[in-house]
């Protein structure tokens, strides 16, 4: 159980606690069927309910960083963007960009939403006018 706590996955820890509960039930009731049922119920309950809560508490919520944090942000077109290229101002920096819908170019000055970062290129979608 100690190694499981250090790894942070908590799966084997939940199974171990279920096994201890099953062993306790065997000691109290002396019936193998009851012990197996207690082991199964406790293990499944802990893996299903306690493990996700414990992992969130220990590891925290995932925070988008780097280019992942840029997806969904708004940008302003600096030079016309089409399916092959263009530029947008995103978070104070100028990025090369291309449109998500390659058939519709976007004029300079329009606001767009970043839908993806492909390498060093922002893939953008024009906001509704």
DSSP 39-97: HHHHHHHIIIIIHHHHHHHHH------GGGGGTT-EEEEEE-B-SS--EEEETTEEEEE
pLDDT number for residue 52: 87
Query: In angstroms, rounded to a whole number, what is the distance separating the alpha carbons of residues 38 and 112?
Result: 56
Going by pLDDT thresholds of 50, 70 and 90, the confidence category of residue 111 is very high
The CA-based dihedral angle spanning residues 20, 24, 27, 29, taken in that order and rounded to the nearest 10 degrees: -130
pLDDT number for residue 10: 82
pLDDT number for residue 129: 59
User: Which H or E run includes 111?
Assistant: strand 111-118
pLDDT number for residue 99: 92
pLDDT number for residue 69: 84
Other Cβ atoms within 10 Å of 112 Cβ, number: 24
Contact 114, 90 (CB under 8 A): yes
pLDDT number for residue 1: 62
Angle at 118 between CA 88 and CA 77, to 5 degrees: 10
**Nearest alpha-carbon partner for 110 in 79, 83, 85, 84:** 79
Q: Which residues pair with 87 in a beta bridge?
A: 79, 96
Q: Which of 5-19, 40-54, 63-77 has the highest mean pLDDT?
A: 40-54
Please say if the pLDDT value at position 45 is more than 80.
yes
pLDDT number for residue 43: 95
């Amino acid at each position: 159980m100690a190694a499981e706590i250090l790894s942070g996955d908590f799966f084997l820890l939940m199974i171990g606690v279920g096994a201890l509960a099953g062993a306790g039930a065997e000691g109290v009731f002396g019936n193998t069927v009851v012990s197996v049922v207690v082991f199964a119920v406790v293990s499944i309950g802990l893996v299903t309910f306690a493990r996700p809560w414990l992992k969130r508490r220990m590891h925290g919520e995932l925070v988008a960083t780097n280019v992942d944090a840029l997806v969904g942000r708004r940008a302003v077109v600096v030079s016309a963007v089409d399916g092959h290229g263009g530029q947008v101002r995103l978070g104070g920096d100028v990025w090369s960009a291309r449109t998500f819908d390659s058939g519709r170019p976007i004029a300079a000055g329009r606001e767009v939403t970043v839908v993806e970062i492909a390498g060093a290129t922002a893939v953008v979608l024009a906001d509704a006018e």
